[in-house]
Structure 1
Amino acid sequence: MSPKAEAAPAELARVFFALGDETRLRLVALLCAGGMFSISQLTASTHISRQAVTKHLQVLADAGLVQDLRIGRERLWQFDPAQMEQARRSLEAIGRQWEDALGRLKSALEA
């Protein structure tokens, strides 16, 4: 197995961990609307502080779900779909494995 393939489960675990928090999930949904948003813009649609939003964005960035761009003194954040696509493909593969296993179980029980 290649080193890249071995790293994939750890990368996916970070993605699923990041998406497992309600606030971070809301931030991703806002960023998926398109465009780039400042911390102030993202904080306006939440009930939490700028510092908390910044910490949540850092978790999302560590998972590869968002990225920031510094323009002057402001940091603008945007959604990066690459890791989400990899997570989607992983869930689809798991779903196919379950379907196959259930099909084999059904065949065994019917035999």
Structure 2
Amino acid sequence: MTTSTDTEPAPEDVLVALADPIRRQILATLTAQGGATSTSLAAGLPVTRQAVAKHLAVLDRAGLVRAHRTGREVRYEAELHPLRRATRWMDALATQWEHRLRAIKDLAEEPPGP
């Protein structure tokens, strides 16, 4: 995967991580609950704890979760900053396309010259 800096995931890393519906559900659960373990996440999903751990690793690489060890447990929390950066990138891209489409529309609606 490509990153824009050594510590900041690129928008495509975030989009790849969010492409899977299980990972989106994990992130939504972490956001709603404020944190959870892989075991507690697996209890609410149609996949094993090991599969949840693999999904959490993908989310971690994209910077969308952070892990905290408490004794023998590892708790995960959502980290939404990379999602916000990806959203800003998509908004900027949409704005560029809107400007291009508006320019095409203006050209198409110009009255024909003499």
TM-score of the two chains, using structure 1 as the length reference: 0.89
Report the counterpart of residue 3 of structure 1 in structure 2. Answer: none
Q: Deviations over 1:74-102 (max 9, x none)?
A: 00000001101101101110111111011
Equivalent positions of 1:39-78 (< 5 A) are 39-78=38-77
Q: Deviations over 1:12-64 (max 9, x none)?
A: 11100000001101101111114120111101110111100000000000000
Query: Counterparts of 1:69 and 1:62 in 2: how far apart (Å)?
Result: 15
SS at match of 2:68: strand
Equivalent positions of 1:73-84 (< 5 A) are 73-84=72-83
* Number of corresponding residues: 105
TM-score of the two chains, using structure 2 as the length reference: 0.87
Query: What is the root-mean-square deviation of aligned Cα atoms in Å?
Result: 1.4
Note the residue ranges of structure 2 that are not aligned, 5 or more in a row.
Answer: none
After TM superposition, the runs of 4+ consecutive aligned structure 1 residues lying more than 6 A away are none
Q: Which has the higher helix share?
A: 1
